[in-house]
Amino acid sequence: MTEKTEAIDQRLVRALAHPLRVQILEVLTERVASPNLIAEQLDLGLTDVAYHTRALSRFGCLDLVGTAQRRGATEHFYKAQPRAFIGDRSWRRVPRTLRGGISAAALQTFIDKAVDALEAGAIDNRDETAFGWTPLRVDQRGWEEIATIVEDAFERIMEAQARSRRRLRKRGSGQGVLSTVLGLTHFETRGSREGE
């Protein structure tokens, strides 16, 4: 493991060491917000939210996208770095003992968002909506091939999002912004090695 990889591992471990930081990242993945707005959304105290938001910023997980003067103070507005969350190759190098709880929280958030979209009737609004899953039986080489395909797809999706953000910034005023959720998963199932 290189020094750079170890530094990334330690940064991610520290950045995601508190469950509130995961919640903050989830909010800031969806939208730009200040600690004050996040505290209101999560119904939590501003002091804790501001502390953990600063920590995420220090660890390189957030971009400061703007400031505003509010009642004699400067309010900072952040957006999550596209690769600051679970799924990045760096995240997979974090020790397994630290991944479980955070993966569970992220999965629950994903499920909550899917259920919310389903209940709101939004999940089927567009003909291009992608929704599906399939069980697979593969050997080690097949596992590795699929993992590479998923990584490549995620990279291409992040590049498409970056291009989209640039177009939206040129337009201004938030016109044409679509809020979407993407879930790319590939995981080994319970008892998968039985009956091989």
- State the amino acid at position 66 in one-letter form: G
- The angle formed by the CA atoms of residues 178, 183 and 184, to the nearest 5 degrees, is 130
Domain 1-103, classified CATH 3.40.50.300, yes or no: no
Q: Which residue has the tokens 């177009």?
A: 167
Q: What 3-state class would DSSP assign to 73?
A: strand
Percent of the chain whose predicted confidence (pLDDT) is above 90: 19
H helix or E strand, kind and range, residue 79:
strand 73-80
pLDDT(39) > 90: yes
Task: Please give the C-alpha separations between residue 186 and each of 135, 136, 155, 163, 165, in angstroms, as whole numbers.
Answer: 10, 10, 15, 26, 27
Closest alpha carbon to 12 in 65, 76, 55, 63: 55
Phi, psi of 86 (to 5 degrees): -60, 135
Cα angle, residue 17 at apex, residues 13 and 18 outer, rounded to 5°: 160
pLDDT digits (tens, 9 = 90+) for 121-143: 888 888 888 888 888 999 999 99
pLDDT digits (tens, 9 = 90+) for 141-162: 999 999 899 888 888 988 898 8
Domain map of the chain by residue range? 1-103, 111-189
Residue 33 region, left (φ>0) first, then alpha (ψ -120 to 50), else beta?
beta
